[in-house]
């Protein structure tokens, strides 16, 4: 069982899914191909149909306080504007017609966090990623949706201490996963006695990094925590917790899709990684089913 015993009821769905499937599939911003826009309900519908156990969203906030599922700084490529979403009202955001994958206008609109929580099917989990600077607003919304307690997993870098302090003080103990580049980050997260820490996202730029090592992964499991790895192949965001294009050595989506799933996702499973985040859920789902 992952997580503290006192939060077992909150963490029950997550642990049930681990019991049934061993390694879970988390889908990065949903499945956004063709005319379907990232971080939207249609993208989550597509991901779920492709085998997702969990979908991921990022959150930005409008000038009038509405949380929208959107990754900041992607306004030019997704919305066709250089104006930050954070300088728009909710009505203005809802009026935007995003660009699809070939830069043509899509009829799919951005969704609020409330809309996503209302949509979220029973048994499908939601990982809220880039929202740690907005936890007061995020927690206020989550508190209005009872399902959020058992279906939502929050995450943040450990250095974002204001986020962990907000969780420490909040009476409702939502599941939380620190983003970690070293074992010391995990230890730091565990010092927050009143935070429901259930796992850790492991960032390892190279196979020589501390969190890449099998013995370290085993020690994290021994602390009652699951291990999450991003198999995504990304550009360099310039963050210290996203140090290079690949977030966990060379065990990537690119290797898994272009060469062989056994060379990427398969090795992650051999290393006892519990959740793999991917942009290619259907292929990962088929591979997991074949094992």
Domain coordinates of the chain in residue numbers? 5-290
pLDDT at 236 over 70: no
Q: Count the helices and strands in the chain (H runs, E runs).
A: 12, 11
> How many CB atoms within 10 Å of residue 218?
12
Mean pLDDT of 146-154: 98
Q: List pLDDT tens digits, range 166-196.
A: 999 999 999 999 999 999 999 999 999 999 9
Sorting pLDDT into bands at 50, 70 and 90, what band is 244? low
Tell me what pLDDT residue 241 has.
Answer: 44
Q: Which pTM value belongs to this model?
A: 0.96
- What is the residue whose two structure tokens read 């210290």? 240
Mean pLDDT of 129-151: 98
pLDDT at 234 over 80: no
Task: Tell me the CA distances in angstroms from 134 to 9, 52, 60, 130, one per residue in order.
Answer: 26, 26, 8, 9
Burial of 54 (0-12, 13-18, 19+ CB in 10 A): buried
Tell me what pLDDT residue 257 has.
Answer: 96
Q: Which residues contact 217 (CB under 8 A, 6 or more apart)?
A: 202, 211, 227, 271, 272, 273
Burial of 188 (0-12, 13-18, 19+ CB in 10 A): middle
Its CATH class, for the domain covering 5-290, is alpha beta
Tell me what pLDDT residue 255 has.
Answer: 95
Sorting pLDDT into bands at 50, 70 and 90, what band is 233? confident
Q: List pLDDT tens digits, range 113-128.
A: 999 999 999 999 999 9
Residue 55: CA count within 13 A, CB half-sphere: 28
């Amino acid at each position: 069982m992952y997580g503290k015993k006192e939060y077992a009821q909150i963490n029950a769905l997550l642990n049930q899914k681990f019991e049934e499937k061993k390694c879970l599939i988390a889908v990065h911003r949903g499945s956004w191909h063709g005319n379907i826009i990232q971080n939207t309900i249609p993208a989550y519908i597509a991901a779920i149909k492709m085998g997702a156990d969990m979908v991921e969203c990022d959150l930005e906030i409008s000038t009038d306080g509405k949380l929208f599922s959107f990754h900041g700084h992607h306004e030019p490529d997704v919305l066709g504007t250089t104006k930050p979403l954070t300088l728009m009202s909710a009505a203005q955001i809802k009026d935007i017609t995003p660009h699809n994958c070939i830069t043509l206008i899509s009829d799919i609109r951005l969704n609020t966090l409330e809309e996503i929580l209302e949509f979220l099917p029973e048994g499908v989990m939601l990982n809220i990623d880039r929202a740690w600077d907005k936890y007061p607003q995020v927690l206020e919304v989550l508190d209005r949706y009872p399902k959020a307690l058992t279906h939502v997993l929050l995450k943040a870098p450990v250095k974002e201490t204001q986020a962990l302090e907000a969780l420490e003080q909040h009476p409702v103990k939502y599941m939380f996963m620190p983003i970690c580049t070293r074992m010391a980050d995990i230890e730091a997260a565990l010092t927050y006695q009143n935070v429901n820490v259930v796992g850790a996202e492991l960032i390892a730029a190279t196979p020589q990094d501390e969190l890449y090592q099998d013995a370290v992964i085993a020690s994290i499991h021994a602390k009652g925590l699951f291990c999450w790895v991003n198999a995504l192949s990304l550009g360099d965001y310039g963050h210290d917790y996203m140090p290079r294009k690949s977030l966990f050595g060379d065990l990537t989506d690119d290797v898994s899709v272009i060469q062989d799933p056994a060379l990427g996702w398969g090795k992650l499973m051999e290393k006892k990684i519990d959740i793999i985040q991917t942009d290619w859920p259907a292929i990962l789902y088929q591979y997991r089913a074949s094992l």
